[in-house]
Amino acid sequence: MTDNNTPKSAKKPRWTSLEVALIAVVSLLFIIVVALVILFATQQTVEICTTADCTRSAARLIENMDAAVDPCDNFYQYACGGWLKKNIIPETSSRYSTFGILQDELAVVLKGVLEKNVEDEAEALSKAKTLYKSCTNDSLTEQKGGSPLFMTLPDVFEWPMAADNWDSDYGKTWRVEDVIAKLNVKYQNILLVSMYVDVDERDSKSHIIHFEQQHSLGVWSKSDHACNGSNEEACRLYELFAIDLVKLIRTDRGLSVNETLIREEVARVMELERGIAEANDSPSVSNDRELRYNRMELGDLNANFTLEVESRPFNWSYFTAQIMNTVNITVTDTEEVINLSPNYFKKLNPLLAKYSKRDVQNYLMWRFASGMVDHLSKAYRDTAKAFKKAMHGATAEEPVWRQCAVFVSSAMYNAVGRLYVQEAFSDNSKKMMEEMIKDIRDVFISNLKELTWMDAVTKKAAEEKVRAIREQIGYSDNIMDDNYLNDEYKDLNYSVDEFFENIVHTTAYNKKKILQKLRVQVNKDEWVSGAAVINAFYSWRKNIIIFPAGILQPPFFSKGQAKSLNYGGIGMVIGHEVMHGFDNIGRKYDKDGDLKDWWTEDSAQRFLELSACIVEQYANFSWDLANGLNLKGNNTLGENIADNGGVRQAYQAYQNYVKKHGEEPRLPGLDLNHDQLFFLNFAQVWCGTRRREDALSSIQVDQHSPGKFRVLGSLQNFPEFAKVYGCNQSSYMVSDKVCRVW
């Protein structure tokens, strides 16, 4: 209640202007003091990491990014703009990227260890160094010219191109089975019919003989089998490459050169090769594992897949025996085999019927010789120079030492892996990798339980499979054992003066190692990669993820760099490889690595529907480096599924790490929190660019999306990214239609 009778003199007086001013000053001072206290307290809690690793990481991130770009408008340009401005594609390369830089650094390390003289080292290591030395003996290679190839041609029935006497000499006893068997087992030149020993996809403990279509198709494999538009020049130069090579070989051998006849015969070779490419299965058929698995007896091939050259039937049993006899394994018509390409072989028969045995031999020798020119003198390498530039854009050769380091590393990967590990790898990273793999596996299982599109039966099988995934990290312990290495390479002997011969010896040795596995149970613990490799892998048939020593370095991984960067780098790679067990191909294999359907019909249908969203999304990306062509979403689906799931799970695993261990100290010079740094490092892994020629060819056949779209696509599908960077709904990095499978 209010007392209205109170005298006016008794009411509280108004404040004077002086008093009001004093109150305002005091209030302002109070606010300033509180602000200073808050600021001081904040500065005390924001810890900055100043270690050498943190400083190096921060410098790299800052140097590669372009902070002037809005990350919500184009995160790839924001993350990689600095890298793109300062890096120019070397004249020796068709592309350049973060991976390319690491490959260059790896090659330098390999050069050092392969050129180092060490007393009393394992014999296998000495053999690798001898092979390298023979490769780098450039003056001797120039001196020999094309003679190493000339000496090899009679072993495979000679090259009849423009020859007068081939039909009466070699042509009389010529059998296509003999030629392609010799090319396969001795030179690893797989033409017309691909035959090899590999794991049985429905019984992953056993090996079995496989027959498949020819994959290496020269210019045709890079152009959707077309020779028009942007590819017309490459096709013209491919034919000119063949003509020039024949002319050079005949000139150096002292034989006549009838250019008109050479051009006529080369034209038929080009026509035949194009026909082989058109007979090949499409990528959608090649990726259908059930459709490809056609088990039958060897004799069934003779009965049902006839191939004829000049009315002479191809004898599949004879052909197979010619190859397996080289490792003293007998096969009969009752041998169980897998025919992976029945449609191809049915198309190949009427195609071959159009050509003479001379035409077929010309084709086989063209492909054989064209694959060997890189190991001959400069005059021979130059015959391919214009064609290679048209295909990939590179205008200069790699230094000889680099080519040799890469070759020896591939040919003797365990010996070179040992040298690399001893020189440049620390075992300290293995435990951290194991912990990250566990973290990401746990996230997959947690997410699996929350998926609404997959039923309980399929979820149970998926969980069993991911729990069964094994890992290989760094390198195989076997390569550190001198006796093991020496025994592995005991049948290899090299001469420092015979590089070409060393190549032939190595290819035959490696092929026979594979053939010898036919009657041997699969060793699922055997490493499928060397240590000196900057990549990672997943094996469907072994259900194993592999992280070689070469990739366990910044920006992917380092014991000393921030965990946010490790999870954004190698963590995403771990998630990516795990996801390959559940992509459009990997999902068809069970926990034991067998091709077996463990999906209910409803869950499988939902998977296909969700995958279609990703196919459409990536097919709508237009690539400026490829003249604005759109990506092929079907071709890259598996890798896109792996990217999308990989980055999601790595980020969630990092969040779990922070909950358990607390926030990390900030990096110096960067006004970014660690959630933002996670995505920044993920994107910078894929910084890179390509020449137009390489972009045009890769868009046709590469199973990976270009790095730019690996970043944009996966982050547009991950709403957490938009939250971390504060992107609004109208931003380019926020998609109206989020595609998610896992």
pLDDT digits (tens, 9 = 90+) for 239-267: 999 999 999 999 999 999 999 999 999 99
Give the chain's residues under pLDDT 70. 1-46, 221-230
DSSP H helical ranges for 159-231: 170-173, 176-187
3-state SS, residue 48: strand
Residue 432: Cβ-neighbour burial (10 angstroms; 0-12, 13-18, 19+): middle
Which residues fall within 8 angstroms of residue 158, CB to CB, at 6 or more apart?
Answer: 166, 169, 170, 361, 365
Nearest to 369 by CA among 358, 355, 357, 380: 380
> What's residue 472's pLDDT?
97
Provide the phi-psi class of 617: left if phi over 0, else alpha when psi is between -120 and 50, else beta. Answer: alpha
d(CA 160, CA 290): 41
> What's residue 615's pLDDT?
97
> What's residue 27's pLDDT?
59
Which residues fall within 8 angstroms of residue 171, CB to CB, at 6 or more apart?
Answer: 160, 357, 358, 361
Task: Indicate the pTM of the whole model.
Answer: 0.90
CB count within 10 Å of CB 480 equals 14
> What's residue 28's pLDDT?
60
3-state SS, residue 557: coil
> What's residue 22's pLDDT?
61
> What's residue 512's pLDDT?
95
DSSP H helical ranges for 136-195: 138-144, 147-152, 170-173, 176-187
> What's residue 94's pLDDT?
95
Separation in Å, CA 62 to CA 68, 83, 240, 674: 12, 10, 47, 14
What are the residue ranges spanned by the domains of the chain?
A: 53-87+430-474+547-725, 146-376
d(CA 553, CA 556): 6
> What's residue 25's pLDDT?
57
DSSP H helical ranges for 451-532: 456-468, 482-488, 499-515
Instruction: Report the DSSP pairing between strands 336-339 and 203-212.
Output: parallel
Instruction: Report the DSSP pairing between strands 544-548 and 622-623.
Output: unpaired
Torsion of CA 291, 296, 298, 304, to 10 degrees: -70
> What's residue 43's pLDDT?
46
Residue 163: Cβ-neighbour burial (10 angstroms; 0-12, 13-18, 19+): buried
> What's residue 429's pLDDT?
85
Residue 445 · residue 463 · CB < 8 Å: yes
Please name the CATH architecture into which domain 53-87+430-474+547-725 falls.
Answer: 3-Layer(aba) Sandwich (3.40)
Residue 167 · residue 160 · CB < 8 Å: yes
Q: Which CATH superfamily is domain 146-376 in?
A: Neutral endopeptidase , domain2 (1.10.1380.10)
Residues recognised as catalytic? 577, 643
